[in-house]
Chain A
């Protein structure tokens, strides 16, 4: 009952005209950017981050969340129509979505994707409302030792498990930790690695790192990728609504996908892509229609869309209740909250209950807005896909420049964005993922602070991390994760070598 009462209060917050307006702006922009191949939710959130500085914290968070799940919705449109995932997590939707489009069932696939995303979003919202208070209550018992261990687990999970090379992923996290030390040390007041540049005394701005690595870096990659053009599918509007049999076939996959996505999404380091992949694999095993998977099964569209959208909502659980983001996008959420003077953690639900429950309720309103945006306005998004990319990307670059410039009215920020943009491109070239770097950058100062506190309280005894039960358990899980990640990478490499030698 308490949850319902809190949700009701949150609904009142979410329905305030300003929050409604920015929720709509967020989901609209998110869908818009998600539709464009090559520009993911990270770049989208990075670009709107400077705008949120002028807003109330709740409004800012509602807008960022809207962009985040709006991009997931939008990502499926390019997946289905062009076989190009608008966002990484919608790549699973390509498997059945694109064959459906080629069969002339693009309208049905898009409709199924919108309905499944809505269903998944609702399941994720309920799980978040139930899970977050319980996790926050548990986290109230955490001291610096436990927090250090949680942050370590989050960083390792995000870097080692979800990406290609675990070694390079961990390297990026550590590079992010180092980058986070630039600026004045808050404990001693000493300048670190500022090179005598006054603009670096407050550290490198999160906006600059995010815009450079994800905005500029991704854009350079996408220019070439989009130069070749993509095959487009003619949308058949007459076949837009699924048949009764197709409706029935979607119900269970939506529920299963939403359930799996909401659990996987709440785990640090997994994210929507892993949620979609697991949900798809489970559904393929359970479905009576398994032989049709990969050939245009409507369940194959419904299940990943439901899973990725529910994972999007529950990713906020560890972010807001523990202050530990499970992904780079969530790291930006934490950064945005900190800019507003709000520290995410177990006290957030008590001290900023209106913000938390307002956000939960905004998921309901935002998902309804997305249904309205996606079903009747699908033609608009299809036409957007037809705008040549050569007109899009120069405009996006200018928006990035203006966004960065607007933060401090200082062109030094643009020069720094240029450096991070080039670094982002080179990192992709050398297969270093930029997302873990951003996570390390955001969590680095927190990690350093908790480490210092833990060492001070334990009188300099480093074994304190292994003698306290919660932190020992978390560190054990971290080590197991690392072993698993490296073992998986080694076996994948062996398999690849074996596959190479067979044809030769």
Chain B
């Protein structure tokens, strides 16, 4: 598979500008070359989304120019996005790269923390949900031992209980099913 390459030597000022533009912090990793199929995935995903809105909008009915139908705006915006996506895909075919090495561990750990919170909060209450979500979210950090993760989870869950149920009186159940 063809690999795409990218400029990996920005000077300090350019790097600062890039950080400013992307509104994220310095990454410490260089941009990485990726297979062409991976490079265009962003544009292709958006193109698929735009087509969903175009087809859905047509089904809803676009109306007339005088009385625009329910589907007119989704169709107009979907078509616009589809055209733009073709340009993006062509650009990425020539110069596509990922901005950084993906951090899949953090990606899935943070996702799992939210999922665990959603699953546990409804069935067992806020305190167990916070405890487990905190521990799960702290998994990407290997410098913190398990006992430290558990202590952090206990501290955050107790603080959440005190603040959100005790002080702010939000309608959460601290425990359920115990």
Which residues of A does B touch, CB under 8 Å? 37-38, 40, 42, 84-85, 88-89, 91-92, 94-95, 162-165, 167-168, 170-171, 174-175, 177-178, 181, 185, 187-188, 190, 192-193, 216, 218-228, 273, 277, 390-391, 393-395, 397-398, 400-402, 405-406, 409, 411, 414-415, 417-418, 421-422, 425-433, 435, 444, 448, 451-452, 455-456, 459-462, 493, 496, 499-500
Contacts and interface: CB of A to CB of B under 8 A. Distances in A.
A73 B119 CA distance: 38
Given A167-B84, A174-B80, A181-B53, A397 B103 contact: no
B81 A225 contact: no
B168 to A, nearest CB: 9
Nearest to A435: B23
A193 B21 contact: no
Contacts of A193: 52-53, 56, 74
A95 B143 CA distance: 32
Given A164-B18, A394-B133, A499-B7, 18 more contacts: A164-B22, A167-B84, A171-B84, A177-B73, A178-B49, A188-B69, A192-B60, A216-B114, A220-B103, A223-B110, A395-B152, A401-B130, A414-B117, A415-B115, A417-B114, A418-B118, A428-B24, A455-B65
21 contacts: A84-B25, A85-B16, A91-B16, A167-B84, A193-B52, A221-B27, A224-B28, A227-B141, A393-B138, A395-B156, A402-B126, A402-B160, A405-B117, A411-B121, A411-B122, A427-B42, A429-B98, A430-B43, A431-B42, A455-B67, A456-B67
B164 A402 contact: yes
Contacts of A88: 19-21, 23
B76 to A, nearest CB: 8
Given A174-B80, A452-B68, A398 B26 contact: no
A192 B56 contact: yes
Contacts of A171: 46, 81, 84-85, 88
B99 interface: yes
Nearest to B159: A395
Nearest to A390: B141
Given A175-B81, A390-B143, A225 B25 contact: yes
Most buried by A among B18, B53, B91: B53
Most buried by B among A42, A421, A431, A460: A431
A500 B21 contact: no
Interface in B123-159: 126, 129-130, 133-135, 137-138, 140-141, 143-144, 152-153, 156
B41 interface: yes
A225 B28 contact: yes
B133 A398 contact: yes
A171 B50 CA distance: 10
Interface residues of B, number: 82
B102 interface: yes
Nearest to A185: B70
B113 interface: yes
B30 interface: no
A67 B104 CA distance: 31
A40 B21 CA distance: 13
B77 A178 contact: yes
Contacts of A219: 110
A91 B74 contact: no
Interface in B30-79: 41-43, 46, 49-50, 52-53, 56, 60, 64-71, 73-74, 77-78
Q: B-side binding surface: helix, strand, loop or mixed?
A: helix
B166 interface: no
Contacts of B133: 394, 397-398, 401
A389 to B, nearest CB: 8
Contacts of A430: 41-43, 98-99
A90 B106 CA distance: 26
A433 B22 contact: yes
B162 interface: no
A277 B84 CA distance: 29
A448 B26 contact: no
Nearest to A227: B141
Contacts of A84: 25-26
A273 B16 CA distance: 12
B73 A451 contact: yes
Nearest to A454: B68
B28 A398 contact: no
Contact of A448 (B49, B73, B122, B135): B73
Given A168-B88, A415-B115, A460 B25 contact: no
B23 A224 contact: no
Contacts of A500: 7
Contacts of A177: 73, 77
A85 B26 CA distance: 9
B171 interface: yes
B53 to A, nearest CB: 5
A298 B174 CA distance: 52
A415 to B, nearest CB: 6
B49 A175 contact: yes
Most buried by B among A174, A226, A227: A174
A496 B49 CA distance: 32
A321 B42 CA distance: 36
A171 B80 CA distance: 8
Contacts of B20: 85, 88-89, 91-92, 273, 277
B68 A398 contact: no
A17 to B, nearest CB: 18
B114 to A, nearest CB: 4
A178 B74 contact: yes
A493 B95 CA distance: 10
A409 B171 contact: yes
Contacts of A409: 171-172
Contact of A225 (B27, B117, B144): B27
Contacts of A42: 23
